[in-house]
Amino acid sequence: MVENFPPEFDPAFYRATYSDLNLHSDQDLLLHYETYGRREGRCASPAVSRKNFLSFIADYENALEIGPFNRPLLSGPKVKYFDVLGAEELKTRAINIGESPEKVPNIHFVCKSGRLKEVSAGFDVVVSSHCIEHQPDLVRHLCEVERLLCSGGCYCLIIPDCRYCFDHFLEPSNIAEILDAHYQKREQHTLASVIEHRALTCHNVPQRHWVDDSGAPNLSAETLKTAIQEWEDARGQYIDVHAWQFTPRSFRQILSLLNELKFTTLAAARVYDTPFGNCEFCAVLHKN
């Protein structure tokens, strides 16, 4: 199934996309991309953008989408949906935040904690967008998705790149933090994650981040007090913040280490680089 997705670097596509490179050999194009193109946000594959990435998923019939809210990525009679709220609650939430409730799909599986343990297995593909970074225990989430997939199935993700979103001033998460959360069997976000999300983030305009206009984090005594109060008031209940920050390179490294340590058999088959002006990258994890 992973063969449906184009390679991370496609020299013919790269050559056709950038006229200044149309006389270069495939080897020279790869060298150019590794030296300059990746840093410049040049597109090296037809699957790097959200729209194009989703087009390579369209042929899968038996699919689960995690967290569609009112903007589902997939549609069709063979697609099932999981969310932390049921359809009527999601419609109410959409109205309360000034968004349209019309595209909220029928939600087949609901769990307020975000756990997938009640979802029936047997999917060819699982899809999520801006979901994995919210998981208190990343390893457990990967194991739950792994259980849902048929042999050879794929977990297709759209993930925020911390360099170009409101997480800009936060370092990419490391393997020690991820394993610590797993061994703690973490169910809720830590105070540190709430403080980071509320007080150490900044604007969310990716085009500005790409040109080194990131401003400053929202750090102040007031935002710190607000974050602490929010965490205390939750009394152990789930708070919707980012637990993890990734770049394409750090995400691939983390998955590689988790594979070697046998925490998951989901392997990073494709991790596409973030294109210029965007705040997200796409990845395909393959169940071996």
The predicted pLDDT at position 195 comes to: 98
Whether residue 155 is found in the same domain as residue 83: yes
20 and 107 co-located in one domain:
yes
Same domain, 110 and 196: no
Burial of 100: CB neighbours in 10 Å, binned 0-12, 13-18, 19+: exposed
Report the pLDDT value the prediction gives residue 114, as an integer from 0 to 100: 87
Instruction: Tell me the average pLDDT across 165-191.
Output: 97
Instruction: Specify if 170 maps to a domain.
Output: no
The answer to the question of residue 124 being in a domain is yes
Query: Do 68 and 107 fall within a single domain?
Result: yes
Confidence band of 221 (pLDDT split at 50, 70, 90): very high
Q: Are residues 96 and 199 in the same domain?
A: no
Question: Taken in order 193, 72, 284, 163, is the CA torsion positive or negative?
Answer: negative
Q: Kindly state whether residues 61 and 127 are assigned to the same domain.
A: yes
Same domain membership, residue 251 and residue 223: no
Tell me, yes or no, whether 12 lies in a domain.
yes
Residues 26 and 98 in one domain: yes
Residues 37, 129, single domain; the answer is yes
Higher pLDDT, 117 or 212: 212
pTM of the model: 0.95
In tens, the pLDDT along 52-93 reads 999 999 777 799 999 999 999 998 888 999 999 999 999 999
What domain range is 258 assigned to?
2-164+244-287
Q: How many domains does the chain have?
A: 2
In this structure, the answer to whether residues 107 and 228 fall within a common structural domain is no
266 domain residue, yes or no: yes
Q: What is the CATH number of the domain that holds 51?
A: 3.40.50.150
Note the helical H segments in the chain: 11-17, 26-32, 38-40, 50-55, 87-96, 138-148, 175-183, 191-199, 206-210, 221-234, 248-260
> Do both 75 and 218 map to the same domain?
no
In a domain, 106, yes or no: yes
230 and 271 inside one domain: no
